Structure 1
Amino acid sequence: MRKILFLSFIFFYSSVLFAQKNLIPMPQHLEISKQGSFPLKANLTVGAGAFETQAKYLANQLEGLLQTKVTLKKSGPIRFQKINNTVSEKHDYYELKIDPSGVFIAASTESAAFYAVQTLLQLVEENQASGSIPALEIKDYAKFTYRGAHLDVSRHFFTADEVKLFLDYLSRYKMNKFHWHLTDDQGWRIEIKSHPKLTAIGAYRAVTDDVKDSKLTKDGRYGGFYTQEQIKDVVAYANKLQIEIIPEIEMPGHAQAALAAYPELSCTGGPFQVGTTWGVMDDIYCPKEETFALLEDVIDEVVTLFPSHYIHIGGDEAPKTRWKTCAHCQEMIKKEGLKDEFELQSYFIKRMEKYINAKGKDIIGWDEILEGGLAPNATVMSWTGIEGGIHAAKAGHDAIMTPVSHMYLDYYQGNPQSEPLAFNAELRLDKVYSFNPIPKELNAQEAKHILGPQANMWTEYITNFKHVEYMLFPRLLALSEVAWGTSKPEAYKSFENRVIHEFAYLDRKKINYSKAIFELNGNIISRNGKMYYELSTIKNDNTIRYTTDGTAPTVQSAVYKEPVVVDRTMTINAANFSAARMVGSVLKQDFVISKSTGKSVQLLYEPNEAYQANHTHTATLVDGVYGNKQYFKKNWLGFNGKDLVATIDMAEPVSFSNVELNVVDQNASWIYYPQAVKVYVSQDNQNFTLVQEVGKEVIAKSKGTIKLSFEKQTAKFVKVEVQHLNKIPAGSGGAGSPAWLFVDELSVY
């Protein structure tokens, strides 16, 4: 009998631990009880107590989950109570206690009661099969008052129903702010009744290849907008989910859709088309009275639609090109006693802030609003890094931390070869989870100005909502735990296991998500003068099989035991296998071997720290792997305003007559082909002889692969000089700024 009781206790205790480890976000405090469980029997009763709205919400959710009648009464085995939270740092404090007699929720606020319900619903889902919830007690609260996620609906439009789904996803994981990016160069998405052309013209753009099959394409135009009634409906929906919607109306930059409708608000008078390409446009609002009058009309209507404390006014990526040559702008600089165009932008932002403040709202701006002086009551959204947030907090301003390094969900979350098209950078699940929103540079008092984190979903390459889901999940789960304040990067594997368990919920809901955490990872290593390809995966119970002849791996293929020697041009295909079946997708890596592969390289100038090929630095130039032109983080070296000057040590004199290299031309991202490439040879690494050079015309025809041929040379050292374009030409985005140069793979034949 004692043995049976002991085994029963072990089963109970392990089930409680299972329930504990799969909550997302993890509560601040969870105490496991040893006394029974609460049965999820038919005809449950929920007692409303002090939180009738949340009781109704819970009853409705339970009916859907358990497929049984749930009654709402004044009291019942599941009951609510209001309590006081005396500790100001414990935002949305709640307690959840479960024992055999019932479920008790005590909450300090309406939103706290809602979050308690979200935790309870996760526990019900976890234990539904067993028919009861193990006894436990949770005391929980949020570390940050701002737990945000952003969705860009300007580059690609998503319906009101799809936005509601996005809100559903945020609410499950206790996120409480939705940043709705409603205007940009590629589309104006909010109905403004006093200025109907903003949507009649600005909400639609010409059809491009990425949207030619979209349901939103009609009569040669693509786009859409939200009526004010639709916005009111979405705001009301968010309110029920305890989510505050913060609208963004961009100014003074990212205004091309508005200027297409009202070109007189520009410095040049237009005409303009709603944007069909991405990047930074030179044409922005001209700071004249007509512009301020229209924007004030817009604000008048926006504040009636959104009860939020904040209005986001953008303020980012506003080139001063037009302002510098605009007579009106230059006269205004003199009239207002401003120093330059940066202070003119500050004047613009401060003037709009004053108007918005008079409406009872505060503004948020991207960290460029720091340029020329920060508006008096502004909150800074720090995106270019954490420095903007640090500056704001030290100056006594609130800040929201959303740096590109950890919070940009439009980046690849796995191997670009197997992931859908994304922005050319990488943000894996563990990187999101590692983020600490409070910079170490701040003292305790300054740290109070950090309101919390936000992740951003920019949609240049995201054309439909299923793709939005894919980019959101599972990184939203990491964000939620960071924002709630219970993330533990040192225990990432435990979190990753909870994420994998949550995939079952996503599958049941038919939510599209990335399985990148299961993928094979390939790493090129050099050892004793030889190159190897190393394979790894988090699923240790699987077998990796691979081929080197370009064929797809099968259950009969070689089993991976150690890094594969790369000593010839080859294609390695590898995949996980479990129980004689392939798990996940095939990892494919092409290697093109030349006489320079694996050799030592020295650079005259260091690449930009953000584009150093995952810190493999010079080795990436001669590793036999050609960089993906949609993803610059892994194999490319990026130089901003610098040349690539690389000297390859061939180890001994070798004969060759060709040098080949790859470059990138993506002007919207300020990346340009070089203006010249030169090849030199030397026997002593001191005295070099020029053997070939090519200029702009040859490079322009190269399609990114530049080949230089010359009479056969025999040399120990080869120097390749790739000259960047200096300044971006007038009329292009970023005109006058240093051009970026991206180079990969220097092949010597």
Structure 2
Amino acid sequence: MQRFLLVFYVLFSSLFFTQTRLNLIPYPQKIELQKGEFIIPETFILSGNLPQKETDYLKKRLSSVLKFENRVKGGGIQLENSSIPATALMNDQQRDKYILEISPKYIHIKSVTNCGYFLALQTLIQLLEQYKDSGKIPSMKIEDEPKFAWRGMHLDVSRHFFTVKEVKQYIDYLAMYKLNTFHWHLTDDQGWRIEIKKYPKLTQIGSKRKESMIGAYVDNTFDGKPYGPYFYTQDQIKEVVKYAQERHITIVPEIEMPGHALAALSAYPELACTKGPFEPATKWGVFDDVFCPKEETFTFLENVLDEVIRLFPSQYIHIGGDECPKTRWKECAHCQELIKKNNLKDEHGLQSYFIKKIEKYVNSKGRKIIGWDEILEGGLAPNAAVMSWTGIKGGVEAAKTGHFAVMTPGSYCYFDHYQGDPATEPNAFGGFTPLDKVYSYNPIPAELNAEQSKYILGVQANLWTEYILDFKQVQYMIFPRLFALSEVGWGTADPENYKEFEGRVIHEFKNLDKLGVNYAKSIYNVSGKVIPSENGVAYELSTSQDQNGIRYTLNGKDPEANASIYKNPVPVSKSMTIKSAYFENAQLKSAISSQSFTISKTTGKKIMLEEQPSENYSFGGAFTLVDGITGNQRQLGKTWLGFQGKDVVATIDFGQKIQFSEIYFNTLDNKGSWIHFAKSAQIFISDNGTDFKLIKEIAKDEILSAKGKIRLNVGDQNVKYLKVRIENAGIIPAGNPGADSKAWLFVDEIGVN
């Protein structure tokens, strides 16, 4: 039990505050506005019984605008000592509960733990920043606690490295918005970033690469510049861990295994199934060479984990476990013998054997493992927790079997995805995850009952850095989406009231400006959404600002202040390019957004899919295939649908018989991301929607020669229904990234002329 009191010298006011919403992120669980105001003084008088480190943090955050003075008693100030009693039945979230009372006489914090006190300070700092210009804060009582115990952000330092100073800044951002877990991705194919004293070659060799891939993956171009050596010494790791602890943030280190191991194998090739030689990867993606499950490998990994565990006091150690191709294991005599000896079903069973062996060792050290959802392959280790990234399925499976899970699905929580129009954004890995989508996420899957839901630890967003070259770009990719994540994790996100949240985000930009943060301004841009209309489709424009400020053109020219004022969705009945922007007082205030339409006889028609796309690449659903927008083959943004291991079977209902003679669609080839051209395609027609006739087939060779841009002459047709079957490449063959895994099939617009 602790008693924390924060008391300041004040003046009195009798004004009653009537504002109903405060500019706080994340928004508290309960706010009760009261009569009167607290006058912000020039000098804060702090009572003498406050937690020192947390109070020092407060002073540092506000020292540029306020002075502080410590006193056991203040002149005429009535001191109050009170607390929230802790009970054995409290969970971690309840132990972080705080009550913040602001009256005309004092500011008073009650909490169970120092962490609760620290969280209260974050709220108080936001209030002081919000009201310091007016000089007074409305009286109020805030009762608050987080919904989820795990509120995390991830940072990949393997693809691109960030300094200790930058990592500390990253941790500060988490603390400011009440996140409590920093997932530090320290090793991968492209770089080993943590000093391991027993194995010095890990950083001597594995922390550098001869060059790096640049631009779009399909370009296959490189910068020709050596990268590294970059790594953190153990003393630097200790420094960062201490820094995080002072901000009540747990660092969860990740040491990748059994896949994503090229940097380690470059240093110690004897740990592989083949002799190598190996080098840290210069490309992005997934590679066949992985750790071989032999005794010397386990000895190596146990020794590495010993040093990692000594450095990081976290309950969980992340062991990766994702995207581990089985190609080398299939060809390895030792691996095949191990499968037989242990009565394992196959190489997926061998992955489970590997993970369980590592888990047993980590458990013996008093810690637990967490891994990406592929650790479910072949059976989950007894005490393992799952980080569900490929969707929600892994988290659901874990929770239903009594295992803890952290929800981090790529479709909502991958901050390396585009957050605005890809044409106006810096190059990103792919996908489309705007602010409102992050804000709409509910970490508790609908499939879980109340008891199973208790196994959902919380939510995390991930920042992979293939295309993030410096810390300014890190800032750009996480802000403002971190605000949405913060509120989702706190449990107060209200997607139906998104516009209100958007207003608080824009207000918080002022504080980011003061901190010099390079945040994304996509929220100011005009965004477009294709919607069905009577005559095909229409283009609906919106902005976070005054809708009357939207200007647009239909002739492909950049809009000016005197261009058409947007009032209603723009009908799109022919091929055209719509450009739009936001203007204020005749001044351009946003980037210029551009969208080209290619209209065909399928545009806006009813479409049904037999298999749904992956959650990560499903923006707009089936309608995306008939919205008049052709996908950009260099950007996996919102114009593509992605299917892993599934065929695309789309049936289009024209509503009446129509004539056409050509069918077109595009597929992608991006093998580093496991995306392969379609294996084949078939075209069917029908008059009744039940009995379909095959009229055209196209084989893989023809698809390859067309480079995925398919144009088929089908002769003169006059029908009501069209069915297109596009066959997935299936299992990725040996010699390709992701071999033995299900290939991805990406498809865009299906059109007919």
TM-score normalized with structure 2 length = 0.88
Match among 672, 684, 687 for residue 668 of structure 1: 672
Q: Is the aligned partner of 1:13 residue 2:17?
A: yes
Residue pair 1:37, 1:135 contacting (<8 A) in 2 also:
yes
User: What is the one-letter code of the residue matched to 2:41?
Assistant: L
**Match runs of 1:64-79 below 5 Å:** 64-66=64-66, 69-76=67-74
| Superposed displacement of residue 167, structure 1 | 0.3
Match among 694, 714, 717 for residue 715 of structure 1: 717
Distance 1:571 1:194, change over 3 A: same
| Superposed displacement of residue 50, structure 1 | 4.2
Q: What secondary structure sits across from 2:244 in the alignment?
A: helix
Match among 126, 131, 138 for residue 135 of structure 2: 131
Residue pair 1:55, 1:72 contacting (<8 A) in 2 also:
no
Distance 1:171 1:715, change over 3 A: same
CA distance in 1, matches of 2:410, 2:521: 22
| Superposed displacement of residue 341, structure 1 | 2.4
Q: Is the aligned partner of 1:147 residue 2:151?
A: yes
Correspondence for 1:182: 186
**Match runs of 1:167-206 below 5 Å:** 167-206=171-210
| Superposed displacement of residue 56, structure 1 | 2.4
| Superposed displacement of residue 231, structure 1 | 0.9
Q: Is the aligned partner of 1:313 residue 2:314?
A: no
The worse-fitting range, judged by mean Cα deviation, of 660-669 and 294-303 is: 660-669
Residue pair 1:599, 1:651 contacting (<8 A) in 2 also:
no
| Superposed displacement of residue 372, structure 1 | 2.4
Correspondence for 1:5: none
Distance 1:232 1:560, change over 3 A: same
Residue pair 1:469, 1:511 contacting (<8 A) in 2 also:
yes
The worse-fitting range, judged by mean Cα deviation, of 601-610 and 52-61 is: 601-610
Distance 1:246 1:29, change over 3 A: same
User: What is the one-letter code of the residue matched to 2:580?
Assistant: A
Distance 1:79 1:283, change over 3 A: farther
Correspondence for 1:33: 34
**Match runs of 1:545-694 below 5 Å:** 545-594=551-600, 596=601, 598=603, 600=605, 605-608=610-613, 610=615, 614-615=619-620, 617=622, 619-632=623-636, 634-639=638-643, 640-642=645-647, 654=659, 659-676=663-680
Residue pair 2:440, 2:495 contacting (<8 A) in 1 also:
yes
**Match runs of 1:218-617 below 5 Å:** 220-222=226-228, 224-594=230-600, 596=601, 598=603, 600=605, 605-608=610-613, 610=615, 614-615=619-620, 617=622
CA distance in 2, matches of 1:246, 1:612: 28
Correspondence for 1:96: 100
Residue pair 2:611, 2:648 contacting (<8 A) in 1 also:
no
Match among 102, 110, 115 for residue 106 of structure 1: 110
| Superposed displacement of residue 274, structure 1 | 1.2
Q: What secondary structure sits across from 1:48 in the alignment?
A: coil
| Superposed displacement of residue 350, structure 1 | 1.9
Distance 1:52 1:746, change over 3 A: closer
CA distance in 1, matches of 2:686, 2:392: 45
| Superposed displacement of residue 356, structure 1 | 1.7
User: What is the one-letter code of the residue matched to 1:508?
Assistant: K
Distance 1:650 1:747, change over 3 A: farther
For this pair of structures, how many residues does the alignment match?
A: 726
| Superposed displacement of residue 433, structure 1 | 2.3
CA distance in 2, matches of 1:24, 1:645: 43
CA distance in 1, matches of 2:272, 2:22: 56
| Superposed displacement of residue 468, structure 1 | 1.4
Distance 1:744 1:47, change over 3 A: same
Correspondence for 1:3: none
Q: Is the aligned partner of 1:725 residue 2:729?
A: yes
Correspondence for 2:220: none
Residue pair 2:326, 2:739 contacting (<8 A) in 1 also:
no
| Superposed displacement of residue 276, structure 1 | 2.3
| Superposed displacement of residue 84, structure 1 | 4.2
**Which protein has the bigger strand share?**
1
Q: What secondary structure sits across from 2:339 in the alignment?
A: helix
Residue pair 2:204, 2:229 contacting (<8 A) in 1 also:
no
Residue pair 2:288, 2:738 contacting (<8 A) in 1 also:
yes
Correspondence for 1:83: 83
Give deviations 1:670-711, integer Å, cap 9, x for gaps. Answer: 2212345667889999796857x765555435444344569x
Instruction: Mark the runs of 5 or more structure 2 residues left unpaired by the alignment.
Output: 1-12, 217-222
CA distance in 1, matches of 2:461, 2:616: 22
Correspondence for 2:3: none
Q: What secondary structure sits across from 1:231 in the alignment?
A: helix
Give deviations 1:647-682, integer Å, cap 9, x for gaps. Answer: 7859666575x6543221111222212345667889
| Superposed displacement of residue 251, structure 1 | 1.1
Correspondence for 1:4: none
Give deviations 1:428-477, integer Å, cap 9, x for gaps. Answer: 32332233333344444443333222221122222221121112111211
Match among 155, 160, 163 for residue 156 of structure 1: 160
Instruction: Mark the runs of 5 or more structure 1 residues left unpaired by the alignment.
Output: 1-7
User: What is the one-letter code of the residue matched to 1:242?
Assistant: H
| Superposed displacement of residue 541, structure 1 | 5.0
CA distance in 2, matches of 1:447, 1:603: 33
TM-score normalized with structure 1 length = 0.89
Residue pair 1:148, 1:176 contacting (<8 A) in 2 also:
yes
User: What is the one-letter code of the residue matched to 1:36?
Assistant: E
**Match runs of 1:209-220 below 5 Å:** 209-210=213-214, 220=226
Residue pair 1:613, 1:635 contacting (<8 A) in 2 also:
no
Give deviations 1:340-377, integer Å, cap 9, x for gaps. Answer: 32332222222222222222222112222222232232
CA distance in 2, matches of 1:197, 1:320: 26
Distance 1:600 1:378, change over 3 A: closer
Distance 1:359 1:572, change over 3 A: same
Distance 1:610 1:111, change over 3 A: closer
Residue pair 2:411, 2:616 contacting (<8 A) in 1 also:
no
CA distance in 2, matches of 1:362, 1:558: 60
Q: What secondary structure sits across from 1:64 in the alignment?
A: coil
Give deviations 1:174-203, integer Å, cap 9, x for gaps. Answer: 111111010111111101111111112111
CA distance in 2, matches of 1:307, 1:267: 33
Residue pair 1:544, 1:560 contacting (<8 A) in 2 also:
yes
The worse-fitting range, judged by mean Cα deviation, of 119-128 and 435-444 is: 435-444
Distance 1:681 1:442, change over 3 A: closer
The worse-fitting range, judged by mean Cα deviation, of 667-676 and 577-586 is: 667-676
CA distance in 2, matches of 1:604, 1:51: 59
Distance 1:316 1:535, change over 3 A: same
CA distance in 2, matches of 1:627, 1:222: 36
Distance 1:470 1:39, change over 3 A: same
CA distance in 2, matches of 1:329, 1:492: 52
User: What is the one-letter code of the residue matched to 1:58?
Assistant: L
The worse-fitting range, judged by mean Cα deviation, of 273-282 and 533-542 is: 533-542
Identity, in percent, stands at 50
User: What is the one-letter code of the residue matched to 1:266?
Assistant: A
CA distance in 2, matches of 1:257, 1:83: 51
Residue pair 1:26, 1:486 contacting (<8 A) in 2 also:
yes
| Superposed displacement of residue 110, structure 1 | 1.5
Q: What secondary structure sits across from 1:21 in the alignment?
A: coil
